[in-house]
């Protein structure tokens, strides 16, 4: 062994035995990776871009609180019926008591149920605005969700202002049985009275919008708007394929497929949603003058 090789071996042994390994710890919540394109970004960057990936335009899940900040003018949001909360009328129990599940969701999300409703302005134009929150039991529609949306529509009818409902739901809430299904007819009835006064209703379909929500107020709009690549459906893909015994297209039940076949009127990214809503509202406002 040469002198240089001997010195190199001794140096490596010294480094191994006497120098501690330095581990780099990245704080939680600092970075986030896009599941669609793999782009790594600061979480703050994602938040500034309305939780839309700046590289591939993939829309991340977001909360009803964020939606209000993104769409409603600052200091104009006035919640209504914010104190309504679900009970357990059927004493339902699966892996957990329904009442216990509700309490857990309320603690986790800070919401009393799966929708927030209120009156606010979009670029100074007043609207009655409802935002479903998928974090609360999959945005499922129970008695409180139906009651809050019905009261919101009735308030919009009373004030002669447009109604906008941002939909994000797995459908009817099975823990409330028939009481949940009744909300479909109740909300639809309120929308009919709203339409009788020639007032505008705009549902905004986000991913996912499924089940009883799709089968009722999500598809009753004067203008139906959806986010890109949103899952919009009534029944699941596998259920439909087994029923009709045919294979479905790959993009079946996406907002693009529904737009192509005339079920929705406009697809717009979340970053442009407020501007698109304002354009529709301002046109409606001018026509009503």
Residue positions forming the annotated binding site: 34, 37, 53, 56
Residue whose entry in the numeric block shows the structure tokens 């354009």: 279
- Token couple for 38: 């793999």
The alpha carbon torsion through 34, 113, 190, 169 (nearest 10 deg) reads: 30
Cβ proximity of 254 and 230 under 8 Å? yes
C-alpha neighbours within 13 Å on the C-beta side of residue 260 = 9
Show Cβ contacts of residue 49 under 8 Å, excluding neighbours closer than 6 positions: 271
Q: Sort 115 into a burial class: Cβ within 10 Å, 0-12 / 13-18 / 19+.
A: buried
Which parts of the chain fold into alpha helices (H)? 3-18, 43-48, 64-71, 98-109, 143-159, 177-196, 211-214, 237-244, 255-260, 273-288
Binding residues for Zn(2+): 34, 37, 53, 56
């Amino acid at each position: 062994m040469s002198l240089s090789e001997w010195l190199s071996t001794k140096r490596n042994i010294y480094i191994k035995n006497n120098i501690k390994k330095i581990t780099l710890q990245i704080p939680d919540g600092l970075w986030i990776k896009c599941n669609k394109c793999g782009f790594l970004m600061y979480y703050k960057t994602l938040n500034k871009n309305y939780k839309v990936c700046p590289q591939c335009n993939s829309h991340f899940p977001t909360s009803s609180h964020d939606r209000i900040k993104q769409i409603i003018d600052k200091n104009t949001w006035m919640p209504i019926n914010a104190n309504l909360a679900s009970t357990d009328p059927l004493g339902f129990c699966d892996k957990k008591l329904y009442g216990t599940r509700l309490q857990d969701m309320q603690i986790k999300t800070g919401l009393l149920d799966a929708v927030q409703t209120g009156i606010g302005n979009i670029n100074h134009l007043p609207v009655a605005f409802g935002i479903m929150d998928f974090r609360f039991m999959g945005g499922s529609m129970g008695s409180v969700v139906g009651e809050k949306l019905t009261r919101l529509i009735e308030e919009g009818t009373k004030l002669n202002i447009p109604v906008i409902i941002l939909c994000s739901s797995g459908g009817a809430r099975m823990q409330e049985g028939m009481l949940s299904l009744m909300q479909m007819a109740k909300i639809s009835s309120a929308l009919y009275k709203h339409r009788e006064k020639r007032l505008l209703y705009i549902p905004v379909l986000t991913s996912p919008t499924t089940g009883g929500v799709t089968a009722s107020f999500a598809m009753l709009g004067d203008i139906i708007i959806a986010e890109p690549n949103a899952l919009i459906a009534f029944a699941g893909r596998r259920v439909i394929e087994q029923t009709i015994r045919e294979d479905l297209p790959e993009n079946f039940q996406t907002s693009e497929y529904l737009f192509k076949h005339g079920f929705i009127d406009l697809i717009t990214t979340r970053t442009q949603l407020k501007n698109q809503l304002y354009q529709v509202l301002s046109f409606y406002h001018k026509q009503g003058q």
